[in-house]
Structures are given as structure tokens and as C-alpha cells.
Amino acid sequence: MNKSFAKNIVLILLLLTTMLSCNTLKHLPENERLYLGADISFEGGVPNKYKNEILDKVEDVLIPEPNNKIAGMRIGLWAYQKVERDEAGFFAKWVNKKIGEEPVLMSDVETGTVEKLMFNRLENLGFFYSEIDSDTIHEEKTGEAFYVIRPGDRLMIADYQYTQRGDSALDTLIVQHIRDQKILREGQPYTLDKLTEERGEIAQLLKDYGFYYFTDNYLFFDADTLSTELDNQVSLTLSIKRTTPEDALLRYVIGDIKVYPNYQVKMDSSEVSLDSTEYEGVRFIQEEEFFRPDRLHPYLLLNEGDYYNQTNEDHTSRRLNSLRTYRFVSIRFQEDSVQKDGLGQLNTSIYLSPMRKRAFRTELQLVSKSNNFAGPTFNMEYENRNLFRGGESFTVTGKIGYEAQISGGDLSGLSSLETGIKGELLVPRIIAPFNLEQYFRYSVPKTKFVLSYDLLRRSQLFSLNSFLAQMGYTWNANRYVSHNLNPISINLINLSNTTAEFEGILDDNPLLERSFEQQFIAGLTYSFQYNKLLKQEQKSRFFLLFTADFAGNTIALGQNIGGIEGEDREFLGQQYAQYSKFDVDVRHYLNLGDEPRLVSRVFAGFGLPYGNSDNLPFSKQYFSGGPNSVRAFRIRSLGPGGYVPEESRSRTGSFFDQAGDIKLEANLEYRFPIVSVLKGAVFTDAGNVWLRNVEDVEGDGRKFSSGWIDQVAVGAGVGLRVDIEFFVIRLDVATPLRKPDENGDFFWQDDFRYGDKSWRRDNVIWNFGIGYPF
């Protein structure tokens, strides 16, 4: 099964596509044609930057939409026609139930209606007096629509002003905003979207300065094209509608503030008349102290006597919702009939409905990995969501897992036992020797303490004891940016019970042996995340994660000051690691329709060992290959560089050898819907890892050099995903396109022998995963 087989597959797919296409066309109503879609073109020398802007608007009004295609076939239409003719089997009926659709016919196309909608969209963009021609082309069984757009000259803004109602705070705020704003500037195009955005910003500004009832519906623009000196220019005047109610023009201050820290949704008004405690002018009402008032008060950004501020209300709600103590947060305002100095007053009630304080969860997992390890894992978790009545969350997790090699040969008999316990205390405030709370208004930072112990026992190899102690902070700067800083991070790893086989692996690889020696890691870690992936409505979205990891520098500085010098210095009887490590992970999501999207990712990691270290500790090294990496290679089986394990060596050894200090990786994946929750993907991956300090193994292609591009492996494949909202099961199959030969020289494959069992064993890689790879 070689190239001729691939040609046969393509031919079969083409024939299948043609058959389904012909079948759907054969069974159309009499004298009808199937509508294939519409095409838009421009005349009149329209600049490219305007073409894209116009297309984004007018493509949305191309009605009706033609029948959907999957892999070039109108499967939904085919199934519908089968059912209509009472010729459907089980499969056709099932497809019709899921994605069946009636034929979209040329008789459904009304070009005149589409032209009117296009004119409307063009005027919204400032193109007045445009011309649009439309036509249709009819073939024997199909038809298409064509639209030719000749946009008129675009209207530009000449000036922008505001009609004041008087000398009021509202007028002062609007005038100042117009002076400082950057949305409607002289010389910019007139667009409806910009006018809408400006109205929204002004309404938000007024709400932040006490105008509680004001909305953008009370603002309107007058566009005057006659008073300007030049053609195609407009003078904009903003005014407040005369029908605006008085309360929308009234400024409000915050009155009494009441907080119910233990509110139950089923309570009525009589049941909330409980004991109250006043703290900093706020009444905390609770039957018994569920949440300490002094701990809850810093979350509130609403103060009695301040002007109402919607941003402060939103921040207060967000800060309270960030507490893992509460299920629901409700802030309600009630207008007081008493008005002082022309100001309204809003009494505030904050209702906080707690979650169950304690929770216990167990989970049994069956795990299958692409390194042929499989087995069960049992997880347990206990959580207390309000440990010290200040929103502190204390979690204890334990796990025990067993894995065994499911393949035969040299790999049979290998097993792995992993147990561990972890305690985490999350305190919803900064614990530090100085006060920083005033710098965090968007969200409250959290202080995290972690203690954990893990034991990994690999049969025929070693046992690994790992102890971790960490203290750090996490906070959100805004909706898209988050930070994580761990100024204290201590990781102690003890290697024991090594077998003769593993000792042989270490003896053959001094670099690997060195990485296992330095198992005391003390330092600082920091990560910065920018995430716009949640904005699903945006066509283009970015994700950026930057991580920095520093270890051993403080210890080394102290020893230098103390006069301790030389190599292999120790701390508390352990040789410590000293390095700097930086990772950058950038992802881009491009929506190509309602569901199809093109996702790209670039990852770059660089570790710099120095001082007391010649290379990174093994637990900090990079690996390539596997379900979230270059999927055409098994997990941890790629690199470093052009290194290829000796055939005579067991894969156990190469599993440890193939690590690096540097990693470069790129992925491109097209994701598309198939049926209901079943999604498909076509992808290509490229990447590798390299070593930096390789004096002991020079000449074997592991070292990063100027020729690194020649050592990049490439793979491609397809995947299926079951996407049930927040839970995704993924199956990917991939084949290497570019890989190293037995000498470590990379080459492009041109002979794909899918019928050869031995070829498939080495070149068809299956990856199973939970969640998307990136």
C-alpha cells in the first residue's frame, strides 16, 4: 500500500463526493436549482483597507445561506432527501435528525432584499450614495448570485461638539470627555459603530460619577453635512434627549450599607433581621459569626457618602465572587426618598450565599499514555472553604496510582507506583510585611502556601522521593491579565533504590547523571498570562504565557559573601542547582465561521545552567513528543537535536536520555465540526529539544547550534474530539514527515507504506488525551 494506494483513496473520495453531489441534485423539486452561494466584487478603485471593512459587514446579510458541506459533501441535504423519499436507512435517519436540512433553492434568493440590507450596512460605515448591481447565473441544476458594489465617497468627521443643558456636573463631565476622547476625531471616518461606542463610553463615565439611572439610550447624535466647507464631511453634535427622565439626570450617593455574610436564598425579609455588627461604617448582619467583618470589609469598594460608581460596584461583585466561600453574590440598591443638596441616596444591601463549607471528593481514573504505560489512579480531596472565618480555603489531596507497560519485548515487566499527599492553604489577601491592598482594585490578590510529598517507584530502575514547599501570590490585573509570583519555592528530590540497570544508564550518560545529582532546587518563579480566548465573538484571539524560573542565586550569593567558593557547593548537606529558565507560549485562534477555526501555537523555552550547575536538574528539563507536543513522535522520544538511541538499548534508557535545556516548537491545527459534539482536526507539528552544555558528548548532534533549523522534526495528522462543553476527549493519529535517520541526519519521508505492519509500528502514532492540546 504505497503511493498508488494513496491515489486510489483520493479517487474514491472524489467519486464519493461526486455521487453524493449528483444524488442531491437529482432529487430537487421540478424546475428548481440548488443555490450554491453568492460572490461579492468591487468596482471603483476601493482601497483594500476599506474592502475588508465592507466585506465584514455585508457578508452577514447574504441570505439565504447555501446548504452546508462537510468534506465537500452536502450530507445534511442528502439525508433529508432520503427521509423525504422514504428511502432512509438507520444511518440516513440518524444524520437527518442531527444535521438534516431542506434544499436551499434559487427561488429562495431575493437579490433586491439583499441589496437593501447592503445599502444599510454601507451607510452605517459612512459610504453614502453607493451603487449595487446584482445578478444570478443559472446552470442546469445549480445557480449562484453575484453582487457588484461601487461604494460612494466616504463621509469623514469635520468636528464634534456637545450641546450643553446648563452648568451642571453632567455637562462638565461630557465636555471634558469629548476634549479627551479618541473615538470620534477630526478626519476619521463616520461609522455607526463608532457613534455607538462613544455613547456607551459616556454613559459608563456618568455612571461612574453618580448618575445611577443614566443609559446610552438618552444620548443622540445630530449629523450635519450642510454646514461644512468641504464635500463628504459631517459635523457631529451630541445632545441629551428631551424625554430623559429626571432621575437619570440626578446624581446619587451611597447611603447605608448592609452585608449579609450568611444569606440563604430561601430566607424571607423577616428572617434576615439577625444580629448585626458595625465595622468601618458597614453593618454586617449574621446570626453567628460566619465570616469576620474585618476580613470581609476590604473586599468592598462601596463607601457611605461616596458618589455611586458602577465600576466600583462591578469590582466589588467580582472580588466577592473570587472568594471560594460563596456560591452567589447579589448587590441591590434601594433609592431613599430623602434627597439632600439635590442628590439622591442609594441604600445598599449585599447578599452573600455561601457554598457548603466542607467538601470531600474521590475520583478513579484509568490512564493510558503514549509511552505504553497504562493503569488506574485513585485521587482523594478534602476542602474547607472558610477555615478561619476569613475566606481561607484549605485543601488536602492524596493520590495513589499504578501503571504498567502494556507492550511486550524488552519493555515487559516495567511498572510504576506513584503516591503523594499535598496540602494547600489559599488566603484571599496579601500576607506581606507591607500594605499593598490599595494597588489591587480589580481583584483581591491571594497568598498561597503549599506543602507536598510524592513518591515515585519505577520497578527495575529507582525510587524518587520529592518534597515541595512553596509560598506565593496570585492576582488578576484585569479581565485578561493575571500574574503568579512564588518568591519562595523549595524542591528537594532524593533518588534511592537504584538498580544496576539504571546505574548503567547513568554511567553511559554523565550529563544525565549530573542532572540527578543536583536535586535541591530553591528559588523564585514568576508567570505572566494574557488570555483573550474567552472572547468567543472575536474573530482573532491571542493567548500569551511567559514563565521565569530562577534557582540557587540567593544561596550562591550568601556563600560568596561568606567566602565559600569552588564547584559542587552544598547547602544543608545537598548539592543545590543554580540556573535561570524562561518559557514563552503564544497561541492564536482565528475563527473561520461559526465553529471552524485555525489555531496556531509557538513555544520557546531556554534554560541557562551556571555557577553550581552544568545542566538543568532532570525535573526541570524539556522533552519533545507526545499528545501535547509533536504528536508524530512518542512522548519524550524526540531529540535532543539529532540524537538517536542505539537500537540495542532498551527504550527505558532513551526515555531519560532524550531531554534538553532548550526547546522550540510550533503547531498549526484546523478544527471543524462534524456532527453534534463530534469535532475533527487536521494538524501539523514541528519542534525539537537541544542541550547547551554537552562537553562530555560532543559530536553526537545534541548541542544547540546555528544549524538548529536542520534538526527540526515535522509531523502531521488528523484527530477526532468529543467536545461536551467543558469536557473534551481527544484522539489524534499522526505520522512523521521529517525525522532523523539512524545517523541523526534529518530527512523528509516520501514513502508512506501504510500496508506494512512494521512501518506502521514506527510511523503511525496514536495519542489519547483529555482536553485540547493547546
CB contact at 8 A, 644 and 742: yes
Model pTM score: 0.77
* Superfamily, domain 156-249: membrane protein fhac (3.10.20.310)
Reported as half-sphere exposure (CB side, CA atoms, 13 A), residue 470 has a value of: 24
Single-letter code of the amino acid located at 69: K
Instruction: Using pLDDT thresholds of 50, 70 and 90, give the confidence band for residue 372.
Output: low
Say which residue, 354 or 645, is predicted with more confidence: 354
> pLDDT tens digits for 599-609?
999 999 999 98
Coil, helix or strand at residue 639: coil
* Dist. CA 522–CA 469, nearest whole Å: 9
Coil, helix or strand at residue 476: strand
Q: Which of 188-202, 410-424, 518-532, 584-598 has the highest mean pLDDT?
A: 188-202
167 is written with which cell numbers?
452648568
* Dist. CA 88–CA 93, nearest whole Å: 6
Any idea of the CA torsion for 641, 646, 647, 648, to the nearest 10 degrees?
-160
Strand 142-150 relative to strand 678-690, pairing = unpaired
- Residue written as grid cell 463615565: 205
* Dist. CA 389–CA 770, nearest whole Å: 36
Instruction: Using pLDDT thresholds of 50, 70 and 90, give the confidence band for residue 653.
Output: very low
Q: Give the residue from 462, 451, 523 showing the smallest Cα distance to 494.
A: 462
pLDDT of residue 699: 57
272 is written with which cell numbers?
434576615
For 234, other C-beta atoms within 10 Å of its C-beta total: 21
Q: Which of 109-123, 373-387, 501-515, 620-634 has the highest mean pLDDT?
A: 109-123
How does DSSP classify residue 563? T
Cα–Cα–Cα angle for 139, 142, 148, nearest 5°?
80
The domain defined by 252-354 folds into Ubiquitin-like (UB roll) (3.10.20)
pLDDT of residue 482: 94
Q: How many residues does the chain have?
A: 774
Reported as half-sphere exposure (CB side, CA atoms, 13 A), residue 447 has a value of: 14
* Residues β-bridged to residue 358: 384
CATH code 3.10.20.310 region(s) in the chain: 156-249, 252-354
Instruction: Using pLDDT thresholds of 50, 70 and 90, give the confidence band for residue 350.
Output: very high
Alpha helices, H only, 105-168 = 111-124
CB contact at 8 A, 98 and 676: yes
pLDDT of residue 21: 53
CB contact at 8 A, 648 and 664: no
CB contact at 8 A, 486 and 549: no
> pLDDT tens digits for 691-724?
887 654 455 677 888 888 999 999 999 999 888 7
Q: Give the residue from 496, 492, 495, 497 showing the smallest Cα distance to 576.
A: 492
What element of type H or E holds 51? helix 48-58
Say which residue, 179 or 517, is predicted with more confidence: 179
pLDDT of residue 5: 45
How does DSSP classify residue 104? P
Whether pLDDT at 669 is above 70: yes
Residue-by-residue DSSP string for 53-99: HHHHHHGGG--SPPPP-BTTB-HHHHHHHHHHTT---HHHHHHHHHH
Q: What are phi and psi of 157, to 5 degrees?
A: -80, 125
Cα–Cα–Cα angle for 19, 20, 23, nearest 5°?
85
Lowest-confidence range among 243-257, 368-382, 539-553, 624-638? 368-382
Q: Give the residue from 773, 14, 770, 771 showing the smallest Cα distance to 366.
A: 770
Q: What is the tally of helices (H) and strands (E) in the chain?
A: 14, 30
* Dist. CA 235–CA 231, nearest whole Å: 11
* Average pLDDT value for residue range 108-128: 94
Whether pLDDT at 8 is above 60: no
CB contact at 8 A, 403 and 375: yes
pLDDT of residue 506: 76
Say which residue, 594 or 216, is predicted with more confidence: 216
* Residues β-bridged to residue 419: 400, 455
Lowest-confidence range among 24-28, 336-340, 379-383? 336-340
Reported as half-sphere exposure (CB side, CA atoms, 13 A), residue 743 has a value of: 3
* Average pLDDT value for residue range 213-229: 88
> pLDDT tens digits for 308-327?
999 999 999 999 999 989 99
Q: Give the residue from 687, 600, 672 showing the smallest Cα distance to 637.
A: 687
How does DSSP classify residue 244? -
* Dist. CA 346–CA 235, nearest whole Å: 39
Instruction: Using pLDDT thresholds of 50, 70 and 90, give the confidence band for residue 409.
Output: very low
Task: For the chain, report the end-to-end CA distance as a whole number of angstroms.
Answer: 33
245 is written with which cell numbers?
427622565
- Residue written as grid cell 489524534: 732
* Average pLDDT value for residue range 457-481: 89
pLDDT of residue 408: 45
> pLDDT tens digits for 36-93?
999 999 998 788 888 888 998 999 899 999 998 876 778 889 889 989 988 888 888 8
* Average pLDDT value for residue range 30-40: 92
Share of the chain above pLDDT 70, in %: 88
pLDDT of residue 539: 81
Lowest-confidence range among 278-287, 310-319, 490-499? 490-499
* Average pLDDT value for residue range 183-206: 93
Mean pLDDT of the chain: 85
Asked if the bond preceding 627 is cis, omega within 30° of 0, the reply is: no
